Amino acid sequence: MPEKFLILDSNSILYRAYFALPKLTTKKGEVVNGVYGFLLVLFKLIKEIKPQYVAACFDFPAPTFRHKEFKEYKAQRPKMPDDLFSQIPKLKKVLNAFSISIFEKEGFEADDLIGTLIDLSPKDIEKIIVTGDFDTFQLIEKNVKVYLLQRGVKKAQIFNEEKAKEKFGGLKPDQIPDFKALVGDPSDNILGIEGVGPKTARMLLLKYKNIEGILRNIKQDSEIKENLKEKILKNREKLFLNLKLAKIERKVELKFEFEKLRFGNYNEEKVKEILEEFEFKSLAKRLKELHSNSKSLKLFE
């Protein structure tokens, strides 16, 4: 059995936990429901997946290189609620106590760091991305899976290459950015090509593989209607911009030693102290089992 590397899309998990759980506050009045839900997910993952390595990736709270390319990138998204934003330092405090390495970098999103960590880690290690959205599906390949949280954080589904292809109508994971370039992505405010829907985009990509292949061949294709050809060809620059916005950057400069991501080397008392500070009494009680034998957990049973 290959060793496993758990990569946490931390903002996504925290966001889902915040909206899935009722508002929880400490005696001091600090809201902690997002952190609590995040830790429920983490404990569950350690039980189910039994990872040897864990890393947590965060979005950096500043514009990314994508905003420089397209200033309206994600412009429609509402501002993060203050009592959710205030939980990010608390979550990092817990992760640090667990000796889980945190990765964030100005100009990049968590997805870019996830993609980079996958490329920098040993090829024979199984990588499992934990997230609440579909953006990282493009990273799925041999030894890379996505653990997709559903119904808040209560349920999840694991996607490998075959399941991802099934989800996207036969497209391979690495074709997803090209698909988004054609149809757009409202969640990121990526504007697709008018008149090109999912069915047409899938047809073109199954036939020509990617945006470059479509632009190179569509003019000579007698089976494609002329008005569609015109729409595609006149939006050449827009397509490449969309592709740049949709594609995860996998060459971010990161300094780390993979062995330092090994999970389990933490001080139990220090973690317990922080869990009790946030009044997570039930998690504090389960900590000893987590610390003593992470390979045979009985949490949630």
Residue 300 forms part of a structural domain: no
Q: Are residues 51 and 113 in the same domain?
A: yes
Q: Under DSSP, is residue 79 helix (H, G, I), strand (E, B) or coil?
A: coil
Q: Are residues 13 and 94 in the same domain?
A: yes
Residue 297 forms part of a structural domain: no
* pLDDT for residue 143: 96
Q: Are residues 140 and 125 in the same domain?
A: yes
Q: Are residues 124 and 143 in the same domain?
A: yes
* pLDDT for residue 32: 97
- CATH number of the domain enclosing 242: 1.10.150.20
Q: Are residues 242 and 125 in the same domain?
A: no
Q: Are residues 60 and 163 in the same domain?
A: yes
* pLDDT for residue 215: 96
Q: Are residues 227 and 143 in the same domain?
A: no
The 10 Å Cβ neighbour count of residue 60 is 15
- CATH number of the domain enclosing 108: 3.40.50.1010
The CA–CA distances, whole Å, from 143 to 49, 107, 159 equal 14, 28, 11
Q: Under DSSP, is residue 122 helix (H, G, I), strand (E, B) or coil?
A: coil
Q: Are residues 199 and 67 in the same domain?
A: no
**Mean pLDDT in consecutive groups of 10 residues from the start of the chain, 301 residues:** 95 95 94 97 92 97 93 90 96 97 97 98 97 96 95 86 95 97 95 94 96 96 93 96 97 94 93 95 86 43 30
* pLDDT for residue 287: 85
* pLDDT for residue 210: 97
Half-sphere exposure of 111 (CA within 13 A, CB side): 20
Which of 200, 189, 197, 185 has the alpha carbon at shortest distance from 71? 189
Q: How far apart are CA 102 and CA 104, in angstroms?
A: 7
Residue 299 forms part of a structural domain: no
The model's pTM: 0.93
Residue 298 forms part of a structural domain: no
Q: Are residues 32 and 109 in the same domain?
A: yes
Residue 236 forms part of a structural domain: yes
Domain count, the chain: 2
Q: Which amino acid is it at 241?
A: L
The 10 Å Cβ neighbour count of residue 128 is 20
Q: Are residues 126 and 215 in the same domain?
A: no
Q: Are residues 264 and 203 in the same domain?
A: no
Q: Are residues 8 and 99 in the same domain?
A: yes
Q: Which domain holds residue 145?
A: 4-167+249-292
Q: Say how far residue 209 (Cα) sits from the centre of its chain.
A: 24
* pLDDT for residue 70: 94
* pLDDT for residue 297: 36
Q: Say how far residue 228 (Cα) sits from the centre of its chain.
A: 33
